[in-house]
A and B are shown apart, each in its own frame.
Chain A
């Protein structure tokens, strides 16, 4: 297996075992340099100036949009809107599509494994429109059974919002089947791809999703740039979310007409640095190949699951069927609080997440207060997993006397 750590300045020395890529990823030097080059050579306000430099900044920004469109196989770059992150993309959909297309007694269906960012906006829309918010629940394996999909996505449902990969359980949801069912009953589908797009090949045409959101920072790109993909006919139809510069066509004292999508949804000066970094991150991933990224992570996941299962004091949540799980493992040490586990691992420079991972309803449903989470990316190695296991043994030893 190739060790990619050499490309990542923060990981290169091997001091840190970084196992929190589900929260955010580290950045390769290619991305860091691309951002630096942008400011060194191409910086101006995109879409604004008539001078060469501004045109170059515009080109750089629009090239990034094309790169993102190709990456998820969107039909055209105009279907890509840059936002700050997945949360903002989901808010855009909730405000611009949700509020305008949901009426009293309509149903919105989400799953119990949603991140708060794909849950709270739908609560807001449901409350505002007197609509019903319904949940698809999971079985003991952390999987949404087919009967649950068929019994919840029924006529009267207008929006189905679902994560492709759970940020807690790692479950890979059957998006294609869900989309097919939703379209049969006349609902549109919003897919939260924050935990899937960075890790596997996604084809929006094949999946036939209506909306897909994801964040750059979870896939090697800088913080502060995210994506909303939507089918062109939807983007054309829905009103703007934020108003301001560069999203208008004509402005009169009392009236305004808006620019065509995607500009309609990109008010104000945009994050060109983020877009450039995003493009570079996609180049980096394409160079490895998304199929290889997935295969590589699968090997790490397989090893981690095997080693963790050997520790009798650990409970792992979610499915053991690795075909249905991405590189995320949530677990608990019997009698030891996740925060204490994370602190003790931190003293050995092993970074894991502890808490409820922005998924309180899921934790409540599983009857858990909080969990530890290790999540992987291409720069992780078997050695990182070994360090996790050693750290967990050490934690157990420390607490043995007291629990």
Chain B
């Protein structure tokens, strides 16, 4: 149960049901669809870029608590960042959930997203946490 409680934390549960980032984005400049065929999780990310800066992000779709929370937390983190900074943070996050080495400083840079660190103890759920981040990576690299 310890593993479970370290994953289904208040932050995750709250973000999984939060709706402030979950909507269509008027005037979106770009969008990307992410899908997890084995479990059916399905999200669409929309962004508004202002030059090199991510002015706004929103998502629509459905999925488990982990994937929904991870998406919402990611949006909070990346909003207002430059493309370059965002890609760096995505990279740190993906390393973290795969238990690859990252520094304490890098973990701090993830802000609330570091709440998903313990997902690495639950290999079956890592892909739920990753979905939004990989989708965002593809979107930014388009």
- Chain A positions within 8 Å of B, measured between CB atoms, are 336-340, 343-344, 346-347, 354-356, 360, 363, 369-370, 398-399, 401-403
Q: Are A343 and B16 in contact (CB under 8 A)?
A: no
Evaluate contact between A337 and B3: CB separation under 8 angstroms. Answer: no
Q: How far is the CA of A339 from the CA of B62 in the complex (A)?
A: 12
Bound state CA distance, A363 and B41, in angstroms? 13
On whether the beta carbons of A347 and B4 are closer than 8 Å, the reply is yes
What's the least CB distance linking B67 to chain A, in Å?
A: 8
Docked Cα-Cα span, A383 to B103, in Å, equals 47
C-alpha gap A4/B115 in the complex (Å): 43
Contact of B16 among A347, A354, A398, A402 (CB under 8 A): A402
Which of A343, A360, A363 has the most CB atoms of chain B within a 10 A radius of its CB? A343
List, in ascending order, chain A residues with CB within 8 A of B16's CB.
402
Among B22-30, B91-99, B121-129, the one that faces the other chain is B121-129
Q: What is the number of residues of chain B that contact chain A, defined by CB distance less than 8 Å?
A: 23
Bound complex: CA A136 to CA B122 (Å): 40
Q: Which of the residues B42, B62, B65 comes within 8 Å of A340, measured between beta carbons? A: B65
Closest to A339 in B: B64
Residues of chain B within 8 A (CB-CB) of A403 are 17
Q: Are B39 and A370 in contact (CB under 8 A)?
A: yes
Partner of A356, one of B1, B17, B40: B40
Are B65 and A337 closer than 8 Å at their CB atoms? yes
For A336, what are the chain B residues with a Cβ–Cβ distance below 8 Å?
65
1/0 per residue, CB under 8 A from A, across B14-37: the answer is 101100000000000000000000
CA distance A401 to B9 in the complex (A): 12
Contact check, B66 vs A363: say whether CB atoms are below 8 A apart. Answer: no
Contacts A343-B4, A398-B8 given; indicate if A369 touches B42 (C-beta within 8 A).
Answer: yes
B100 within 8 A of A: no
Segment 27-66 of B: residues with Cβ below 8 Å from A:
38-42, 62-66
Point out the residue from A346, A347, A370 that lies within 8 Å of B40, measured CB to CB: A370
A402 touching B14 in the complex, CB below 8 Å, given contacts A337-B64, A339-B64, A343-B4: yes
List the B residue with the shortest CB-CB distance to A344: B4
Among A339, A346, A356, A360, contact of B128 (Cβ-Cβ < 8 Å): A339
Contacts of A346 in B (CB 8 A): 124
Residues 108-139 (chain B) with a chain A CB within 8 angstroms: 122, 124-125, 128
Q: Closest Cβ of chain B: how far from A346's Cβ, in Å? A: 8
- Contact status A339-B125, CB under 8 Å: yes
Task: Tell which of A337, A356, A402 touches B63, judged by Cβ atoms closer than 8 Å.
Answer: A337
